[in-house]
């Protein structure tokens, strides 16, 4: 929120400043509002305010309940976008640079966008692969724990130990409880 009056004080009288603050700021030009830092901050603040207003107009967004599915969707879009740009770049037939009047030779925008799109697609795919590997690792761990519990259950159930069924149940429950603490 931009206050109605500058929040600065007169160094002479100590009274509140009567000037209006600069746009997006709490202080006037005489109280630091003109500094490049203050102006940059004000621009950021105003841009954020605009973005918030736009977001408010869109209403409440749907929560993402399936982030991996959503990420796969994004990967699909990124791939399609890369392919589309690839066509554009191929259409240049190797003419990737052009002469600009003031800045000299430049790489064509299509090539730059295509390169960026490829990089981004690669990053998204790498993230999906990493998530997949992590999910596999967890599944494997769960399978191992299950095998361990089954093996111990067999030992507890062996005749040689002579445990009653309530003792076996107790041991099993304790075992599962303790294992769960570590996962
Ligand atoms: Zn002021």
pLDDT band at 2 (very low <50, low <70, confident <90, very high): low
Q: Which range of residues forms the domain containing residue 17?
A: 1-61
Asked whether residue 80 falls in the same domain as residue 92, the answer is yes
Q: What is the pLDDT of residues 132-163, one digit of tens each?
A: 999 999 999 889 989 988 999 999 999 999 99
Q: How far apart are the CA of 35 and the centre of ligand 1, in A?
A: 13
The runs of H, that is alpha helices, within 8-108 are 36-58, 67-91
Q: What is the pLDDT of residues 18-33, one digit of tens each?
A: 999 999 899 999 999 9
Which of 36, 61, 86 represents a domain boundary (last residue)? 61
Q: How far apart are the CA of 18 and the centre of ligand 1, in A?
A: 7
Q: How far apart are the CA of 47 and the centre of ligand 1, in A?
A: 23
Within 8 A by CB and 6+ apart from 43, the residues are: 24
Asked whether residue 157 falls in the same domain as residue 127, the answer is no
Per-residue b or e along 137-147, where b marks 16 or more CB atoms closer than 10 Å to that residue's CB: eeeeeeeeeee
**What is the pTM (predicted TM-score) of this model?**
0.52
Asked whether residue 116 falls in the same domain as residue 141, the answer is no
Which of 61, 79, 113 represents a domain boundary (last residue)? 61
Q: How far apart are the CA of 42 and the centre of ligand 1, in A?
A: 15
């Amino acid at each position: 929120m931009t206050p109605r009056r500058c929040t600065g004080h007169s160094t002479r009288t100590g009274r509140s400043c009567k000037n209006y603050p600069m746009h997006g700021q709490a202080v006037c030009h005489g109280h630091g509002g003109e500094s490049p830092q203050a102006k940059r901050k004000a621009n950021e603040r105003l841009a954020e305010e605009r973005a918030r207003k736009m977001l408010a107009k869109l209403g409440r967004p749907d929560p993402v309940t399936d982030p991996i599915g959503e990420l796969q969707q994004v990967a699909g879009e990124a791939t399609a976008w890369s392919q589309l740009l690839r066509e554009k770049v191929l259409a240049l037939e190797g003419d990737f640079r052009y002469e600009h009047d003031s800045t000299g030779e430049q790489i064509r925008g299509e090539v730059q966008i295509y390169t960026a799109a490829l990089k981004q697609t690669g990053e998204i795919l790498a993230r999906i692969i990493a998530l997949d590997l992590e999910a596999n690792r967890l599944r494997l761990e769960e399978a191992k724990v299950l095998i361990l519990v089954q093996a111990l259950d067999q030992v507890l159930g062996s005749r040689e130990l002579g445990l009653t069924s309530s003792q076996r149940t107790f041991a099993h429950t304790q075992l599962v409880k303790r294992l769960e603490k570590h996962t």
